[in-house]
């Protein structure tokens, strides 16, 4: 897959820059309200309490498959050779009310179709790994505990 063929997230958005900076350092973070302490994801300017005060809170990178789907038709040409592949909604162990969408893989460097559909179940434990895509963008990917040991 050529990186030019996939959509690369903007890393200079004031609301999300902290997430991408942490991912480059292989840390998974969510926002935490500076007033009420509530954690939130995806990043946004304000808390439900109305406060704009916030900081970044590192989470463990452990979670569970809350739901998943299987892509059969590619949405972009770059993914044509990878279908079918599993995409999942991951519930964070540290903050079960927060979920992240991402790909499952057997390692940080393995293809997004490396975990077959029949090996995935809701509730499976996963651990985050980090995949550099460009100099600016490092994507979290999720390694099922049932797969090989996490290799960063
Ligand atoms: Zn708040």
Q: What is the pLDDT of residues 91-122, one digit of tens each?
A: 999 999 999 999 999 999 999 999 999 999 99
47 and 25 in a single domain? The answer is yes
Q: How far is the CA of 43 from the centre of ligand 1 (A)?
A: 13
Residues 105 and 121 in one domain: yes
Based on the domain organization, do 86 and 55 belong to the same domain?
no
What distance in angstroms lies between residue 61's CA and the mean position of ligand 1's atoms?
Answer: 23
Higher pLDDT: 27 or 77? It is 27
Residue 45 Cα to ligand 1 middle (Å): 11
Q: Mark whether 133 and 74 lie in a shared domain.
A: yes
Within this chain, do residues 70 and 46 fall inside the same structural domain, yes or no?
A: no
Residue 24 CA to ligand 1 center (angstroms) comes to: 27
Report CA(52)–ligand 1 centroid distance (Å): 8
111/65 same-domain check: yes
Report CA(35)–ligand 1 centroid distance (Å).
Answer: 5
41 CA to centre of ligand 1 in angstroms: 13
CATH of the domain at 95: 2.40.50.840
Alpha carbon distance 124, 116 (integer Å): 13
CA distance 36 to 17: 22
Are 30 and 54 members of one domain? yes
96 and 149 assigned to the same domain: yes
pLDDT given for residue 146 in this prediction: 84
Residues 68 and 45 grouped into a single domain? no
The parent domain of residue 54 ranges over 10-59
pLDDT for 3: 56
- 4 in a domain, yes or no? no
CA distance 30 to 98: 9
Do residue 51 and residue 66 come from a single domain? no
pLDDT at position 4, please?
56
Do 78 and 46 belong to one domain? no
Task: Report whether pLDDT(149) > 60.
Answer: no
Report CA(53)–ligand 1 centroid distance (Å). Answer: 8
- Checking if the pLDDT of 151 tops 70, the result is no
* pLDDT per residue as tens digits for the range 3-62: 557 788 899 999 999 999 999 999 999 999 999 999 999 999 999 999 999 999 999 999
Final residue before a domain boundary, out of 42, 59, 76: 59
Cα 127 to averaged position of ligand 1 atoms, centre (Å):
28
Structural domains in the chain (count):
2
Task: Quote the pLDDT of residue 143.
Answer: 97
């Amino acid at each position: 897959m050529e990186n030019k063929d996939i959509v690369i997230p903007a890393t200079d958005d004031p609301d999300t820059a902290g997430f991408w900076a942490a991912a480059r350092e292989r840390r998974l973070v969510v926002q935490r309200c500076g007033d009420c302490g509530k954690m939130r994801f995806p990043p946004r300017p304000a808390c439900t309490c109305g406060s704009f005060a916030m900081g970044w809170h590192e989470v463990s990178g452990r979670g569970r498959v809350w739901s998943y789907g299987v892509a059969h038709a590619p949405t972009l040409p770059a993914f044509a050779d990878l279908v079918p592949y599993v995409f999942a909604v991951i519930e964070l162990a540290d903050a079960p009310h927060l979920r992240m969408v991402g790909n499952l893989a057997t390692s940080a460097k393995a293809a997004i179709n490396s975990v077959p559909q029949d090996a995935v179940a809701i509730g499976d434990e996963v651990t985050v790994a980090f995949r550099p895509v460009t100099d600016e963008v490092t994507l979290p990917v999720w390694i099922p505990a049932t797969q090989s040991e996490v290799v960063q």
